Amino acid sequence: MFTSNPHGNIDLNKPISFLKNSEQSILPAGSKVILEPGESVTLFPGNWHKFWSHGGDVLIGEVSSINDDNQDNVFLQTIPRFTAVEEDADPIHLLVSDYEKFLVR
């Protein structure tokens, strides 16, 4: 995990602050956090992270405060955000970025 520099880019040197099981933790930049079953980690805006499992299946859930998927997610490598989908029905639930398209005027 890494934190951001003042310009929003990844900071490869600054220690990272986060919560593990609701307790404050600070680790050196680039540290890995290994969670045991039932544990949780809370990351703050500007924290660069990725998830993977070691040695078995895992269920990972990422819950965010309200965010705009087109503006709030930043990736070190350019990747497509969504796969191409040919929509054949209006959505039941909107993403923040969808409101403009479906706003009744």
Residues in Cβ contact with 90 at an 8 Å cutoff, skipping those fewer than 6 apart: 102
The 3-state DSSP composition of the chain as helix, strand, coil percent (nearest 5) reads: 5, 15, 75
pLDDT given at position 56:
79
Query: Does an H or E element contain 101, and which?
Result: helix 99-102
Beta strands in the chain (DSSP E): 3-4, 10-11, 16-20, 23-27, 41-42
Task: Round to whole Å and give the CA distance between 96 and 60.
Answer: 23
**Range 8-13 average pLDDT:** 92
What is the per-residue pLDDT across 78-103, written as a single tens digit (0 to 9) for each?
777 667 778 898 888 888 877 777 77
What is the per-residue pLDDT across 24-56, written as a single tens digit (0 to 9) for each?
999 999 999 988 888 999 998 889 988 888 877
